[in-house]
Amino acid sequence: MSEVAAVILAAGKGTRFRSETAKVRHRAAGRSLIGHVLEAVRPLGLAQVLVVVGHQAEEVRAEVEAVGVPGTTTVLQLEQRGTGHAVQQAMPALEPGIDRVLVLPGDTPLLTSTTLQHLLAAGAEETSAPRDGGAPTAAGVTTGGAMLTAHLDDPTGYGRVLRTPDGQVARVIEHRDAPETVRAITEINAGMYVFDRGRLEASLADLGDDNAQGEVYLTDVLARLVDDGAPVLPVSASAGEIAGVNDRAQLADAARALRARHLEHLMVEVGVSVTDPATTYVDVDVEVGVDAHLLPGTILERGTRLAARAVVGPHSHLVACSVGEDATVHSTRAERATIGAGASVGPFTHLRPGTVLGERTKVGAFAETKNATLGEGSKVPHLAYVGDATIGERVNIACGVITVNYDGRTKSHTTIEDGAFVGCDTMLVAPVTIGEGAYTAAGSTITDDVPAGSLAIARSRQTTKEGWSDRRRG
C-alpha cells in the first residue's frame, strides 16, 4: 500500500480580510479555517501532514499544533510566490517512504473527509474513467494524479479547467490569464490534488512565473503531466464544499453552512430536537446527547457538552460548558461551568468560570456565580452573588445574599456546610465558614465563623420612636 502525505498551503496573508490576523487563523463555527482542513484530513490516517506557513508563521504554527493531528509539522515559505512555489518548499521535507502527495488549500472549511477519500481513490488508479463520465484512459496508462473540479454559476476568480477530447484534464488557466472564451467555462479548479510524488517532483523542478501575477502556479504541473502522458483525473465535487474563504462575508457564509450541517447531523443522526435551526448557533465541536432540546436563541460554543434530555434556551449562551442529563438552562450566560444532572439554571443567570453545580441544584433569576461549587440539592434561587465559595448539600441561599470575597487586593473563600440556611440580604465577609445546619438571620453581616447548628444575628437592634413621623409633619 502506498504511503500518502498531505501538503496544506497556509502561508498567505488574506489581504481581502483587512485584518491583522492571518487568514487561516480566522474562525468559523468554532474552528480556525486551517483547523477545519486539518480535521478533514485527520480520518485519512496519512503518514505525514505538512502545513506550509508564511505570514504570521509562529501564530499559524501554534494554531496547527493546537489542532493536534498526528504526524503534522510545518514548513516555512519565507516569500509567498504562489502555490507552485509553496509546494516546492514542502517537497524536501517529505519522508522517504511517501509515494503520493495530497495538496490542499488551508482556507476551505467545508471540505469533508469523504470527498478527500474519493480524490485519493481516483489518484491511486492506473486505468480509470473520468469521474464525470468522460472516455476512459488507455489501458495500462498510469495516472499522474487526480484533482477536484466543480461547476459554478459565477466562476469569477477561479482557474478554469480545459478538457481534452476524451474528457481528461488538459490544463488549468487562471482567471487573470484567461481570455474571454476561456472565462465562459463554468468548470473550475478547486485547488485540491493528489499527485504521484516522483512525477510531481519532476514537474516542479522547472516551473516558471511567466503569468499575469508573476507567480509560480501549481496548475502548470497539470499541463506537464499531460504532456508526459500521465493524465490527471477530474473528480467532481459540490461547489459548496470546495469554496474558499477570502473575506469576512465568505467567512460568515461558511460558518452558516457549517452550523447548518452540524445541526442536521444532531437532529437526524443523534436525535436532538431543535425548535428553530435558523436561530440556533452551535459550533461544530459541540456534542449534544439524545433527546436533548435546543430552543430558539441558543448559542453553544467551544466544545460545550450537553447530556441526554438536557434542555437549553431560549436565549442561552454557553461557552465551554458541561450540562448533565435532564438539566434545564433558561436565558443564561455561562462560561467554563459544569451543570449537574437535573439542575435548573435561569432565567437571567450568569455562571462565570469555575462554577460547578451538583445534581438537582438550582441557580435562579439574577443570580451570579464564579469559582463556586454547589453540592447536591442546594439552591441560589434569585438575586444573589456567590463567588470563591464551597457550598455543601441541601443549602438554601436566600434573596440578596452576597459572598464578600474581595478586599481590593486578594480573594478569600467562603464555606457553607451541608443543610445550612443563609437568610435574605446576608453579607458573608470572607474568609468565613457557616457550619452544618447553621442559620444566619436576614440582614446580617457575618464576619466570624458560625458553628454548626447555630443561629447568627449580626445586625443592630430595631429602635422605634413612636409619634416621630406625626411630629415631623407638624
What's the CATH code of the domain at 107? 3.90.550.10
pLDDT of the residue at 326? 98
* Residue 155 main-chain phi, psi, to 5 deg: -90, 15
Instruction: Give the three cell numbers for residue 85.
Output: 512555489
On whether both 271 and 230 belong to a single domain, the answer is no
Residue where a domain terminates, one of 196, 214, 236:
236
Residues 411 and 385 in one domain: yes
Pair (214, 260) in one structural domain? no
**Dihedral pair phi/psi, residue 224, rounded to 5°:** -65, -40
Q: In angstroms, rounded to a whole number, what is the distance separating the alpha carbons of residues 111 and 239?
A: 10
Both 89 and 112 in one domain: the answer is: yes
Backbone angles phi, psi at 472, to 5 degrees: -65, -35
Specify whether 195 is located in the same domain as 344. no
**Set 55, 85, 315, 382: catalytic member:** 382
At 287 the pLDDT is: 98
How confident is the model at residue 398, as a pLDDT? 97
Q: Hey, what's the cell of 155?
A: 466562476
Question: Rounded to 5 degrees, what angle do the CA atoms 243, 257, 22 make?
Answer: 55
Does residue 227 sit in the same domain as residue 282? no
Asked if residue 468 belongs to a domain, the reply is no
Q: Are residues 11 and 120 in the same domain?
A: yes
Cβ-in-10-Å burial (0-12, 13-18, 19+) of 441 comes to middle
Grid cell, residue 402, equals: 452576597
What is d(CA 265, CA 278) in angstroms, rounded to the nearest whole number?
15
Range of the domain at 115: 3-236
Query: Where a domain ends, among 214, 236, 258?
Result: 236
pTM of the model: 0.90
The H or E element containing residue 226 is helix 220-227
- The pLDDT, as a whole number, for residue 213 is 73
Question: Which cell numbers in the block locate residue 288?
Answer: 449534544
**Domain presence at residue 264:** yes
Amino acid (one-letter) located at 411: K
Q: Would 319 be classed as within a structural domain?
A: yes
Helices (H), ranges, 231-376? 248-265
296 and 232 co-located in one domain:
no
CATH number at residue 421: 2.160.10.10
Cβ-proximal residues to 40 (8 Å cutoff; 6+ apart), any chain: 111, 112, 113, 116
Same domain, 260 and 189: no
**Residue among 312, 398, 377 nearest 351 (CA):** 312
Specify if 241 maps to a domain: no
Residue 72 in domain: yes
Type of residue found at 437 = G
* Catalytic (active site) residue 265: no
Contact 287, 310 (CB under 8 A): no
Positions in the chain short of pLDDT 50 = 127-131, 133-140
- Total structural domains within the chain: 2
Asked if the structure places residue 132 within a domain, the reply is: yes
Closest CA to 305 of 319, 323, 281, 317: 323
Q: What is the pLDDT of residue 142?
A: 64
Of 236, 258, 280, the one marking the end of a domain is 236
Residues 100 and 129 in one domain: yes
In a domain? residue 472:
no
Q: What are phi and psi of 385, to 5 degrees?
A: -125, 125
Q: What is the pLDDT of residue 212?
A: 64
State the Rg of the chain over Cα.
31
Cα–Cα distance, 171 to 231 (Å, whole number)? 10
pLDDT recorded at residue 275: 98
Q: In 10 A of CB 90, how many CB atoms?
A: 24
Answer yes or no: do 103 and 161 share one domain: yes
Residues 217 and 272 reside in one and the same domain: no
Taking Cα atoms as reference points, which of 32, 46, 37 lies closest to residue 9? Answer: 37
CA distance 93 to 401: 62
